[in-house]
Chain A
């Protein structure tokens, strides 16, 4: 059974060394086919009726791909249509050397039972092992080994053929020489592309073929060469280059900024303008920039430019566009401007978007337009443009050669046809990097077993608050209720107010799979008609949700207050509550207003409402901002899930009542955990915006002769209150919308890593998130910290590690931001769906910003913002005079009223 074979192997670095290894050849390696009667295998992997429907092979056959085919067409091999493939050990090893990710994917395929992939250990088989001949390269030897193994298979299957079905093996290769030699030894060879092309069963797999042989070439060099990494590093060290992250502009494809992180606070932004200077950087790459001499500095342009050029006729047009940029920028206040000299790190990912099929019908090269406007268009090769057009597809960038106007990429997969709700939802989740797969079994295994009930042991550790008249107030249709309130009068005339928060940290224990998953997801994402949960549904909608008339565990924050809403005593405890009612905002409002109702719940609500008003007044006196952003709610048809109507969110007194107490609880908890853990408390801050951020607000106000003071939050709040224009009631709201855009993002941080805790918007010296642990992970951490602080739970190392906390906070901030973007995108999509059925409407709108060739318009009724271009392809631009100072456009001919028409909806 064992044959020993020693052979001499190559040298190692430096000195020449002879390495001798044994190589045993075996006669007990089976072929793995069901047909074979000779091999004594226990279970055959390869099926008897191995038939991939294909034009070329009408008989049953097994495929043997060579290394290059595996490396380049792994997407195809992954397709469920492709089955009964023999992977030779030679191939597997070569793939392992060449590309780790492909190797990983190949192994996954092999492990999948339904795919019927068999690994044949040809290197150790007595009949298929070959030695390298003198003068033969390693690659040639491997190719030969593959051919020998293929030959062995075809002969082996022929001899053992019991029921002459004519089972054959097909070698797949893209290599010319290999094909020729294989044909000489009368093997069945097909070039991978062609054989795949004729597969009838599915249309899908061969679309994935990316052609590697014929590169897209044109002689003209469009871009300057990127510098090698060594020179970039030297340059950064010497200060002649700057390193930063590249952020493409949403409005103008010829413009971008590079955000250079400086020491501490002084981070700068470098403006990049023009294709040459952008030099093939893609959004979010880490790049090296060289600053241009000061006389070439320009200001960000006021033009909205979209890359409309097709692959062919782009040059002339582009030059014009670039010229337009320059002129507008010449005189104005210029910013540091630079050019990109090299890419330090690409952060390419697969992008979602649409295919712009080429005009020429037979052409295989097409442009792909990503959904994210900041990503350049990508050139891909496919023969399936006709089927792919109108679908949302995913495309990965392969590279961007210096002579190509667009990056080259390849098709990854199709997400479905455009405009369909599921497809679009998938697109926006992928684009915003929202983890939205179902929870894994490992995660679900940590769920409590049903039926679940509070045990006596739990009761011992918790305070029994079931007797209190607790109720929850939430938006309609809310199933993850994470807060409930109560208020009652004490014997001494003071009021006891309690905020009860779902005790999620009881169910999610630190470090287990569920905890890790929740920490990764960071937040629940609410889309129109869909919710992507952070924790499994059993917890979010049942066990943690503080529904009415069931016993639930809670984390309570209880104050004693006097009737001036001054806090006399604060207490935190883990508790068991039994909510008496879950109300909507409208229901709660009705109870408060209805003087005939006098039950406990209503009494409690009235007490809360009274205190909330006082709290709000106090807060506003301290300088808290009330800002505005338009939020739209859709009425969704329960059958088709199409939006049938939409309304802007209405704010009621009860909204602000709940909000006040949540703020109060958050602030109290923040203070408590910071006192207890000054180094590792998870807090939330909202930095004051730099004065320059207010420019747009000030300019807009000035256009109506209104003065806005932005020295402090208080001054801003006061002057916003005072900003009113007669006959223009919406002006104040518009200003508040603009003010919202001036603000910085509020962020989570770890108290040990930062010194500025101030929350600008709420005018609070310290703040955290405590009140929504079902939908935010930060709250779970805060719960754990608070539980340790009141000795209700034990601590664990990661909780006290400020670096780990800080890393977690960064992830949470990222997820939070992305979820907001995803929510907005979802609303925008539903708005479009809404308009699709409605046709053209006339609606009043307001101009938000003015650009040189376009205005940005807001339609308050739909919460819709869009760009209106003055000049479209078929219509010449009206004669406009652009004034950069105000900024504004004077329209000589009053008959062009852009507000009146439906804005072009660009996403």
Chain B
């Protein structure tokens, strides 16, 4: 595994022990000594970049958001809503078992004007994805890359998407972050080197939100990109997993997400088993991380099967229509 490191004072932020560069673990500009006891409970927002080789998780890269790095507040983990998320019989709130996904339904080619579009439902979370391009660079030309295409993502939520109706302005912190995550994910999956000096736009809108927004967006966008005929290395499938009572729960719904579960989102290129993005925003004991990632990958592979079916069915329909 290759490690990228940054030139930073190499002392553990908690135990103040100096660490050789090769050993240090860095989470959001903060360096941890792997032997430090505090590190065991690591909490991080980390973005992993995909590795060309066969690998698991890449190096933890610092987050590039606008403005200063904020120190996010801790949320005390634990079941706050007082719901029993996993019963003794192994059923979750909505009757699923721990590894079962919600029902996934999808359609491709829902809009005629766009180059590619898709609508995807995962349980009660519903998303619409639209792809334009590849086309010439618009706006500032300085962003042009001479060796590959630039991917531009925009994420937004409909005002009516949650239980409470709320105006959601563009460019708020949450959606900027989400856009960035999407961009990173698709830069890892789309074969951008085929379209130098051009731009691909991916717009995703959440119509109804019931947990797992990121993963639904990724799944919908994948279908839209395929619909647009842009070559990709593989489907990008994403899924969230949570950790309750020593058991990983696949594909969390809103009630579970808000129930104080430490959740992890993972985007996978299923065929090669490469991770396009890994996001974790809660406290979790390090020993459980491996199991959690394993569960997330299994769930992603499940999603990919469904997506594959959808694509094949769509192709059949299209070919029937075009009379082939």
Per the CB 8 Å criterion, the residue count for chain B at the interface is 19
Q: Which A-chain residue is minimally distant from B96 (CB atoms)?
A: A24
Contact flag A119-B89 (CB < 8 Å), given A19-B163, A25-B95: yes
Q: Which B-chain residue is minimally distant from A32 (CB atoms)?
A: B89
Q: Which A-chain residue is minimally distant from B93 (CB atoms)?
A: A21
What is the CB-to-nearest-CB distance from B258 to chain A, in angstroms, rounded to a whole number?
11
Q: How far is the CA of A542 from the CA of B96 in the complex (A)?
A: 56
Name A21's contact: one of B89, B94, B103 (CB within 8 Å).
B94
Q: How far is the CA of A124 from the CA of B255 in the complex (A)?
A: 17
Q: Which B-chain residue is minimally distant from A110 (CB atoms)?
A: B88
Q: Which B-chain residue is minimally distant from A97 (CB atoms)?
A: B82
Q: Do B94 and A24 touch (CB < 8 A)? A: yes
Q: How far is the CA of A4 from the CA of B104 in the complex (A)?
A: 11
Name B87's contact: one of A19, A89, A111 (CB within 8 Å).
A89
Specify which chain B residues have a CB less than 8 angstroms from the CB of A6 in the assembled complex. 124
Specify which chain B residues have a CB less than 8 angstroms from the CB of A24 in the assembled complex. 94-96
Chain B at the A interface: SS class:
loop
Chain A at the B interface: SS class:
mixed
Q: Which A-chain residue is minimally distant from B164 (CB atoms)?
A: A17
Q: Do B124 and A20 touch (CB < 8 A)? A: yes
Contact flag A21-B255 (CB < 8 Å), given A2-B100, A6-B124, A96-B84: yes
Contact flags A112-138 to B (C-beta < 8 A → 1, else 0): 000000010101100000000000000
Q: Which B-chain residue is minimally distant from A119 (CB atoms)?
A: B89
Q: Is B62 an interface residue (CB 8 A)?
A: no
Specify which chain B residues have a CB less than 8 angstroms from the CB of A461 in the assembled complex. none
Q: Is A107 an interface residue (CB 8 A)?
A: yes
Q: How far is the CA of A24 from the CA of B94 in the complex (A)?
A: 6
Q: Is B115 an interface residue (CB 8 A)?
A: no
Q: Is A26 an interface residue (CB 8 A)?
A: yes
Which chain B residues (123-143) contact chain A, with CB distance < 8 Å?
123-124
Interface size class of A (residues with CB under 8 A): 20 to 34
What is the CB-to-nearest-CB distance from B80 to chain A, in angstroms, rounded to a whole number?
15
Q: Do B164 and A22 touch (CB < 8 A)? A: no
Q: Is B42 an interface residue (CB 8 A)?
A: no
Q: How far is the CA of A131 from the CA of B210 in the complex (A)?
A: 22
Which chain B residues (253-291) contact chain A, with CB distance < 8 Å?
253, 255
Q: Do A4 and B103 touch (CB < 8 A)? A: yes
Q: How far is the CA of A19 from the CA of B162 in the complex (A)?
A: 9
Q: How far is the CA of A430 from the CA of B91 in the complex (A)?
A: 41
Specify which chain B residues have a CB less than 8 angstroms from the CB of A19 in the assembled complex. 163
Q: How far is the CA of A107 from the CA of B84 in the complex (A)?
A: 13
Q: Which A-chain residue is minimally distant from B162 (CB atoms)?
A: A17
Specify which chain A residues have a CB less than 8 angstroms from the CB of B255 in the assembled complex. 21
Q: Do B94 and A22 touch (CB < 8 A)? A: yes
Q: Is B314 an interface residue (CB 8 A)?
A: no
Q: How far is the CA of A15 from the CA of B91 in the complex (A)?
A: 31
Specify which chain B residues have a CB less than 8 angstroms from the CB of A89 in the assembled complex. 87, 89
Name A22's contact: one of B88, B89, B253 (CB within 8 Å).
B253
What is the CB-to-nearest-CB distance from A849 to chain B, in angstroms, rounded to a whole number?
56
What is the CB-to-nearest-CB distance from A215 to chain B, in angstroms, rounded to a whole number?
31
Q: Which B-chain residue is minimally distant from A124 (CB atoms)?
A: B95
Q: Is A23 an interface residue (CB 8 A)?
A: yes
What is the CB-to-nearest-CB distance from A96 to chain B, in angstroms, rounded to a whole number?
7
Q: Do B95 and A21 touch (CB < 8 A)? A: no
Q: Which B-chain residue is minimally distant from A24 (CB atoms)?
A: B95
Q: Do A18 and B102 touch (CB < 8 A)? A: no
Q: Do B163 and A22 touch (CB < 8 A)? A: no
Which chain B residues (157-174) contact chain A, with CB distance < 8 Å?
163-164
What is the CB-to-nearest-CB distance from B206 to chain A, in angstroms, rounded to a whole number?
14
Contact flags B202-215 to A (C-beta < 8 A → 1, else 0): 00000000100000
Q: Which A-chain residue is minimally distant from B254 (CB atoms)?
A: A21
Specify which chain B residues have a CB less than 8 angstroms from the CB of A111 in the assembled complex. 88
Name B103's contact: one of A2, A15, A20, A124 (CB within 8 Å).
A2
Specify which chain B residues have a CB less than 8 angstroms from the CB of A26 in the assembled complex. 95
Q: Which A-chain residue is minimally distant from B102 (CB atoms)?
A: A22
Specify which chain A residues have a CB less than 8 angstroms from the CB of B87 in the assembled complex. 89, 119, 121
Q: Do A17 and B163 touch (CB < 8 A)? A: yes
What is the CB-to-nearest-CB distance from A878 to chain B, in angstroms, rounded to a whole number?
67
Contact flags B143-184 to A (C-beta < 8 A → 1, else 0): 000000000000000000001100000000000000000000
Q: Which residue among A15, A19, A22, A119 has the maximum number of chain B CB atoms within 10 Å of its CB?
A: A22
Specify which chain B residues have a CB less than 8 angstroms from the CB of A15 in the assembled complex. 164
What is the CB-to-nearest-CB distance from A712 to chain B, in angstroms, rounded to a whole number?
56
Q: How far is the CA of A119 from the CA of B87 in the complex (A)?
A: 10
Q: How far is the CA of A17 from the CA of B254 in the complex (A)?
A: 15
Contact flag A21-B253 (CB < 8 Å), given A2-B100, A119-B89, A121-B87: yes
What is the CB-to-nearest-CB distance from A305 to chain B, in angstroms, rounded to a whole number?
49
Contact flags B97-115 to A (C-beta < 8 A → 1, else 0): 0001011000000000000
Specify which chain A residues have a CB less than 8 angstroms from the CB of B95 in the assembled complex. 23-26, 121, 123-124
Q: Which residue among B89, B102, B103, B210 has the maximum number of chain A CB atoms within 10 Å of its CB?
A: B89
Q: Do B163 and A121 touch (CB < 8 A)? A: no
What is the CB-to-nearest-CB distance from A38 to chain B, in angstroms, rounded to a whole number?
19
Q: How far is the CA of A391 from the CA of B255 in the complex (A)?
A: 52
Specify which chain A residues have a CB less than 8 angstroms from the CB of B94 in the assembled complex. 21-24
Q: How far is the CA of A26 from the CA of B100 in the complex (A)?
A: 12
Q: Do B210 and A124 touch (CB < 8 A)? A: no
Specify which chain B residues have a CB less than 8 angstroms from the CB of A107 in the assembled complex. 88
Q: Do B163 and A124 touch (CB < 8 A)? A: no
Q: How far is the CA of A96 from the CA of B84 in the complex (A)?
A: 10
Specify which chain B residues have a CB less than 8 angstroms from the CB of A25 in the assembled complex. 95
Specify which chain B residues have a CB less than 8 angstroms from the CB of A20 in the assembled complex. 124, 163, 210
Name A124's contact: one of B91, B102, B123, B253 (CB within 8 Å).
B91
Q: Which B-chain residue is minimally distant from A28 (CB atoms)?
A: B97
Q: How far is the CA of A102 from the CA of B88 in the complex (A)?
A: 16
Specify which chain B residues have a CB less than 8 angstroms from the CB of A110 in the assembled complex. 88
Q: How far is the CA of A203 from the CA of B191 in the complex (A)?
A: 79
Which chain B residues (56-88) contact chain A, with CB distance < 8 Å?
84, 87-88
Specify which chain B residues have a CB less than 8 angstroms from the CB of A22 in the assembled complex. 94, 102, 123-124, 210, 253
Which chain A residues (1-55) contact chain B, with CB distance < 8 Å?
2, 4, 6, 15, 17-26
Q: How far is the CA of A6 from the CA of B253 in the complex (A)?
A: 13
What is the CB-to-nearest-CB distance from B93 to chain A, in angstroms, rounded to a whole number?
7
What is the CB-to-nearest-CB distance from A828 to chain B, in angstroms, rounded to a whole number?
48
Specify which chain B residues have a CB less than 8 angstroms from the CB of A21 in the assembled complex. 93-94, 124, 210, 253, 255
Q: How far is the CA of A25 from the CA of B253 in the complex (A)?
A: 16
Q: How far is the CA of A119 from the CA of B164 in the complex (A)?
A: 36
Specify which chain A residues have a CB less than 8 angstroms from the CB of B96 in the assembled complex. 2, 24
Q: How far is the CA of A25 from the CA of B96 in the complex (A)?
A: 9
Q: Which A-chain residue is minimally distant from B121 (CB atoms)?
A: A4
Q: Which A-chain residue is minimally distant from B84 (CB atoms)?
A: A96
- The 10 A-B pairs of least Cβ separation, nearest first, read A124-B95, A24-B95, A22-B94, A17-B163, A4-B103, A22-B123, A121-B89, A121-B91, A24-B94, A119-B89
**Given A2-B103, A24-B94, 19 new contacts (CB under 8 A):** A6-B124, A15-B164, A17-B163, A18-B163, A20-B124, A20-B163, A20-B210, A22-B94, A22-B124, A22-B253, A25-B95, A89-B89, A110-B88, A119-B87, A119-B88, A121-B87, A121-B89, A121-B95, A124-B91
Interface residues, chain B, with chain A CB atoms under 8 Å away: 84, 87-89, 91, 93-96, 100, 102-103, 123-124, 163-164, 210, 253, 255
Report 5 cross-chain contacts, Cβ distance below 8 Å, ordered by A residue: A4-B123, A21-B210, A22-B253, A25-B95, A121-B87
